[in-house]
Amino acid sequence: MENRAVYPGFFDPITNGHVDIILRGLKIFDRIVVAVLKNPKKKPLFSTKERVAMIRTIFAHQSEIEVKAFDGLLVDFSRRNGAKIVIRGLRAVSDFEYEFQMALMNRKLDSEIETLFMMPSLNYSFLSSGLVKEVFLLGGCVEDLVPEIVEKKLREKLKKGRFIFSN
């Protein structure tokens, strides 16, 4: 039986920290389903379609990685996709409280589903999508913080003057 996990997130946009976690996850799982939240509370810079498309481009040559948009409960999505493990990245102690709450709530909703925390490379432990957008908008270099396609799409947004975002 294929050993698969779900890696959920907002991914607005995906960063090298997320990519690092996905690649680490592949050392443990045969397949990872990257689950892109469709309707977050905050307004995204990139549409669901754009967020999914960027991630698909990054992993175009890795058939073990699937990218899907989802709404509703994560546990329902995981069950529908045959995954009993949810992977979450932990960057720093500050992530812990939110992640702890989410993991226990998901366990309450479905006791069959476990959350697996993984630490990204130290190089990315300060990195977040919100910071990437802020640094980029203020003229900073994000070259080694996001995949090439993301940098390109950020530049396009800036050119179109669509760079309004919430953190």
Question: Which residues are known catalytic residues?
Answer: 18, 42, 91, 129
Q: Give the residue closest to ligand PNS by C-beta.
A: 9
Q: At closest approach, how far in Å is the CB of 98 from ligand PNS?
A: 8
Query: Which of 8, 13 has the CB closer to ligand PNS?
Result: 8
Query: Which of 21, 37 has the CB closer to ligand PNS?
Result: 37
Query: Which of 1, 97 has the CB closer to ligand PNS?
Result: 97
Q: At closest approach, how far in Å is the CB of 102 from ligand PNS?
A: 4
Dmax (CA) for the chain in angstroms is: 48
Which amino acid makes up residue 9?
G
Which tokens is 120 given? 């990204």
Which DSSP helix (H) or strand (E) runs through 155?
helix 148-159
Helix, strand, or coil here: 32? strand
Q: At closest approach, how far in Å is the CB of 24 from ligand PNS?
A: 17
**Sign (positive or negative) of CA dihedral 10, 11, 13, 15:** positive
User: How far are the Cα atoms of 2, 6, 132, 159 from residue 9, in angstroms, in the given order?
Assistant: 22, 10, 16, 26
For residue 16, how far is the Cα from the chain centroid?
10
Q: At closest approach, how far in Å is the CB of 28 from ligand PNS?
A: 19
Contact residues: ligand PNS, CB under 6 A: 8-10, 37, 73-74, 102, 105-106
Which tokens is 123 given? 């190089």
Query: Which of 34, 142 has the CB closer to ligand PNS?
Result: 34
